[in-house]
Amino acid sequence: MKIGKVLFVLFFCARALHGQINIEKWKIFELALSGPTSGNPFKDVHLSGQFIQDNDTILVPGFYDGEGIFKIRFMAHKEGRWNYVTTSNYKNLDNKKGNFVCTPAHKDNHGPVAVKDTFYLAYADGNPYYPFGTTCYGWVHQGDSLAMVTLKTLSKGYFNKMRMCIFPKSYDWNNNEPLYYPFAGTPLKNWNFSKLNPEFFRNIEKRIKQLDSLGIQADLIVFHPYDRWGFSTLDRSTEDFYIKYIIARFAAFKNVWWSMANEYDFMNSKKLSDWDYYIEQFAKRDKFHHLIGIHNGVKFYDHTNPLITHASIQSEDTYRAKEYRMKYMKPVVFDECRYEGNIPWSWGDLTAQSLTEKFWRGVTNGGYVGHGETYITENPVKFPNESSEIMWWSKGGVLRGESPERIKFLRSIIESAPLHMKPIPLFTWMPFSCIGVEGEYYLGYLNDAQPRSIVIDLPKDAFYQVEIIDTWNMTITPVQKKFSGHSLIELPAKPYIAIRIVKQ
């Protein structure tokens, strides 16, 4: 291949007609260039691309993808013609020019997710996004056979966000070696931290694209403490090298979120100022402005940091969403509130009813809640190269619990509700929660209580339809009469009941 020859690798729905390159809005334009292989191309060669349309100029970094190929990825947020020019310290990569046309997004392409109106999330096209996430920390580090089972499970529509580690994880039920390693060198600790392993990162971006095809956000965990390879104690220079590389590779994918850590406060080698630094780096270097969060063990990070887009919280007290949203003035996501399962650890032994209740209490207090599953089975399903239990929380695979169907049911209710629902004190002194649009729509949850009736005060100038929602049996039963003003509503005297009240 002639040095300096430009290779266009066009992702997704790109097409070329009469020399014109078309890229769908919010999908990836990728420019691949042939460059040097001698020395250390990861560090010796610097490459960036400037993308220009009218008054918009966006500078994005390039990266080395191995075998002499350097790449620049760009996600266009505006339709029309974009021109680009490269800059490099290597002559044959410098001043490469071209253009492409950004075409309208297809109906299922809503763009990246961002914060909207302080407490909410929405896609770039304005459609609302309600995170109903799950956790599979190490699924990207397993083989294709297990990953395909995981994707088949996800295709059932339970979840629209996946928390997943970039670095491999070492912990109970996740002790096998990963498929690939992030750095060049020899396992388990003889690494060359000045060179990365492109195959490792290609595998992750393959999974990011597969999630995107299912409409699922990839919440990428940048650091975590569960490590036997030395990846949790990198020096600052190596951390910067890694951070710059993953931003250059992954930031153009529209479904990416950045999570600075899983349980940041359990990483004893790092100070609070280190986390402030990482957050600043992602906010500054990611030109596509993806969501940024940081997950805690026992000590909350200060989510008032203006560079944090949302509060990512580990706590079982999901009912405190209303409190936290006002404290941080941001969307509140309980990414971990304990897991449905039967392991001998208290964080993973919830019943399905309990986890479902935590979802309802969090959502009806104005927050969002994440799922996880930790079941040990007597006859585990075996996959190639696996010698241990396949658990959803660690490696993906299949779901064995009863909460996912109930979470999907709740998701359908929320996604069909009015926009921008907020906490409403519908039940006055009673310890029940409610969100809605004042005077128009109310969704209340009665926890594990089992009242036979409830009294509420509705506006007197309108009539309302009341529906009784059995959150466990997933039924919705309309009450025959209409209500107005001071109202007594008969209830079925059983736990896990919600009520939906809609103006007629």
- DSSP secondary structure string for all residues of 55-80: TEEEEEEEEE-STTEEEEEEE--S-E
The per-residue pLDDT of the chain, averaged, comes to 94
Residue 386 has pLDDT above 60, yes or no: no
Residue 216 has pLDDT above 60, yes or no: yes
| Torsion region of 402: left, alpha or beta (phi above 0 gives left; psi -120 to 50 gives alpha) | alpha
The pLDDT of residue 39 is: 97
The pLDDT of residue 3 is: 39
Distance separating alpha carbons of residues 305 and 276, to the nearest angstrom: 9
Distance separating alpha carbons of residues 115 and 20, to the nearest angstrom: 34
The pLDDT of residue 377 is: 76
Specify the pTM.
0.94
Q: Which residue has 């921008």 as its token pair?
A: 420
**Integer CA distances (angstroms), 62 to 5, 74, 160, 248, in order:** 16, 10, 29, 6
DSSP-derived secondary structure for 149-210: HHHHHHTTSS-SEEEEESS---BTTB-SPPSS-SEEEETTTEEEEEEE-HHHHHHHHHHHHH
Contact 64, 37 (CB under 8 A): no
Share of the chain above pLDDT 70, in %: 94
The pLDDT of residue 8 is: 41
pLDDT in tens, 131-154: 999 999 999 999 999 999 999 999
Residue 102 has pLDDT above 50, yes or no: yes
Q: Which segments of 239-389 are extended strands (E)?
A: 256-261, 292-293, 311-314, 332-336, 340-341, 368-371, 373-374
Position with higher pLDDT, 105 vs 377: 105
Distance separating alpha carbons of residues 273 and 279, to the nearest angstrom: 10
Q: What is the dihedral of CA 108, 109, 112, 114, to 10 degrees?
A: -50
**Equal fold, 6-103 vs 126-296+331-415:** no
Q: Which residues pair with 123 in a beta bridge?
A: 113
Contact 179, 396 (CB under 8 A): no
Q: Tokens in use for 398?
A: 């299949």
Residue 198 has pLDDT above 90, yes or no: yes
Distance separating alpha carbons of residues 384 and 101, to the nearest angstrom: 44
Question: What is the CATH number that goes with domain 6-103?
Answer: 2.60.40.10
Q: Which residues pair with 114 in a beta bridge?
A: 122
Question: Residue 460: is it exposed, middle or buried by C-beta count within 10 angstroms (0-12/13-18/19+)?
Answer: exposed
Q: Which residues pair with 469 in a beta bridge?
A: 476, 498
> Residue 430: which pLDDT band, with cuts at 50, 70 and 90?
confident
Q: What are phi and psi of 59, to 5 degrees?
A: -100, 120
Question: What is the CATH number that goes with domain 422-503?
Answer: 2.60.40.3950
SS3 of residue 322 by DSSP: helix
CA angle at 475 for the pair 318 and 467, rounded to the nearest 5°: 80
To which CATH superfamily is domain 126-296+331-415 assigned? Glycosidases (3.20.20.80)
| Residue boundaries of the structural domains of the chain | 6-103, 126-296+331-415, 422-503
Contact 26, 254 (CB under 8 A): yes
